Amino acid sequence: MIRRHAPTLAIAAFSLALLDVPTAQAASPTLDKIREVGKITLGYREASIPFAYLGSDQKPTGLSLDLCSAVADKIRIVLRRPELGIDYVPVNASNRIPLLQNGTIDVECGSTTNTAERQKQVSFSVATYVASPRWLVSVASGVTEPKGLDGRTVVITQGSLNFAVAKQVLDEQKLNVTIVQAKDHAESLLMLGTGRAAAWFEDDILIAGLVANATDPTAFRMLGATYAPSYYGLMTRREDPEFKALVDTVIKENMASGAFDKLYAKWFEAPIPPKGQNLRLPMSAAMKARVASPSDALAP
């Protein structure tokens, strides 16, 4: 576990003036817990670039961590506890929901897709990113379109929602493909790079992040086919709608002020740690629509 007292996040145009917060939030079980223990505990992913990952200093960083730091700033104001600390707990695709449900973490700051099935277990903030799954292939494989995967082995990260999506795509295209699973995104890319798999199916931005920091980014390419969009959000406990409302308020304020646009440019259109790679991924039309009208809806 990484523990540190995070400094106040300096986000342009984000004011720390005490704003009106619904009085119902005083009844939030999560806020009560945070007040009692004197800290907020954030769950983070270790290899979900650029949302949440370990930087060159081995400390968690990324867009989702910046947003969660802003949430912590708001909580310091709401609770009138400027000394409030932050604990960081690493999570993965398999344990992130259980660790949230059992109170180990208060917010999951990663790249988790909002789905109707997951909403039965947890709550999601308004969308922080709109993604689309795509196939990443090794250039050496010679695959240039999905049908070229017939008779090949593909890898999907264990616990990823895209396992079911990939199965549906392969079945619809009647492709005879062997699916293997890796423990995390880094291992999925490693399997692709070492020839143990011909393709990896995952959200485009997660793929772009790992490829940008690979030893040889030119060894990989994304296939052109895209699939249904998905919406990322910060996860909170389902039984605490008041706390979700606080998290939503923070994100909406950042989107309204233009601070979110600056954060997006910081992580998607400029060099990022640890290798100074630039993802060069401008904000999509779908993402711009969510910034203009923040929502946790599952459809455009």
Domain 2-130+230-292 and domain 133-222 have a common topology: yes
pTM across the whole model: 0.74
Q: Are 127 and 295 in contact (CB under 8 A)?
A: yes
What mean pLDDT, rounded, does the chain reach? 90
Instruction: Give the pLDDT of residue 5.
Output: 44
Choose which CATH entry (3.40.190.10, 3.30.470.20, 3.10.25.10, 3.40.50.300) describes domain 133-222. Answer: 3.40.190.10
Q: Where are the domains of the chain?
A: 2-130+230-292, 133-222
Please give the share of the chain, as a percent, with pLDDT higher than 70.
91
Q: Quick check: 261 pLDDT over 50? A: yes
Give Cβ neighbours of residue 283 (< 8 Å, ≥ 6 apart): 261, 264, 268, 291
pLDDT class of 79 with cuts at 50, 70, 90: very high
Q: Quick check: 17 pLDDT over 70? A: no
pLDDT class of 281 with cuts at 50, 70, 90: confident
Question: What's the average model confidence in pLDDT over 41-62?
Answer: 94
pLDDT class of 213 with cuts at 50, 70, 90: confident
Q: How many other β-carbons are positioned within 10 Å of the β-carbon of residue 172?
A: 8
Instruction: Give the pLDDT of residue 204.
Output: 87
Instruction: Give the pLDDT of residue 9.
Output: 43
Higher pLDDT, 230 or 242: 242
Q: What is the DSSP string of 187-255?
A: HHHHHHHTTS-SEEEEEHHHHHHHHHTSS-GGGEEE-S-----EEE--EEETT-HHHHHHHHHHHHHHH
The CATH code that applies to domain 2-130+230-292 is 3.40.190.10
Q: Are 274 and 55 in contact (CB under 8 A)?
A: yes
